[in-house]
Amino acid sequence: MTTADQRALHQKLAGPKFYGRRKGKKLRTRQQEAFDTLLPAMRIAVGDEDAATNPESFFAQAVEQVWLEIGFGMGEHLVWHAAQNPKIGMIGCEPFLNGIASLCLQAQEQSLGNIRLWPEDARLFMRKLKPASIDRCFIINSDPWPKTRHHKRRFIQTETLDELARLLKPGAELRMATDHAALAGWLVEKTYFHPAFEWTAQSAADWRTRPDDLPETKFQNKGLKAGRPTVFLNFRRRG
């Protein structure tokens, strides 16, 4: 086996390299308590031997659909959808400890039972799910990785779009938002030219206007005040 083959095998066994933050400031007391209390019940456990899992099975009660949010930050967006849609199973992927704790506290305060969490790299979770099992996917304000040499770290790549195409049901929505102009162009280009996705925008107003069923977030308001309006991108999985 050549050195290159050894590197490729090691990468396959180790999984994709993760670049994001995993921990920030020390948790506040209430956040720590919610984290300790709720995470064990909400955490999704998928073993190395598991494959082609139906995500509906992660919920104690029957759900009508399963929605996935990749990189939920502090959880504001995911919690809003969980509260507005009690019959929808919401799955959030986020390795940032402080964001997980924030979501746990919000879920506790609102007594939400339709949230499940994967507190690791989303790519490791996605490969475990059965095809055509997700009804909607959100990627909201992901890290723009602005430096050219870091563009390979951006979540949306051809490979991740291939995996999302496998997971999303025909007609399912892929919703993305960013206040970073260069990343917005990247998201449009990568997704528009992927054969599995169709951009639903009919005019500029469609990407400039926040959808009615998308909550305002503190992060988006902060960007707007700084002169960085959010771009809203909705794509549909082709049938």
Name 92's bridge partners. 69, 117
Kind of pairing between the strands at 231-237 and 168-178:
antiparallel
**3-class DSSP assignment, residue 99:** helix
Q: Where are the beta strands (DSSP E) in the chain?
A: 65-70, 88-93, 115-118, 134-140, 168-178, 197-199, 231-237
Residues 228 and 145: their CA atoms lie apart, in Å, by 16
Residue 141 token pair: 């304000």
Residue 128 token pair: 């475990």
143 is catalytic: yes
Residues 64 and 66: their CA atoms lie apart, in Å, by 7
Catalytic residue among 36, 121, 143, 162: 143
DSSP 123-147: HHHHTTBPTT-EEEEEEES-----S
Instruction: Give the chain's end-to-end CA distance (angstroms, integer).
Output: 42
- CA atoms lying within 13 Å on the CB side of residue 215: 13
Contact 146, 185 (CB under 8 A): no
Kind of pairing between the strands at 65-70 and 88-93:
parallel
Supply the residues annotated as catalytic: 143
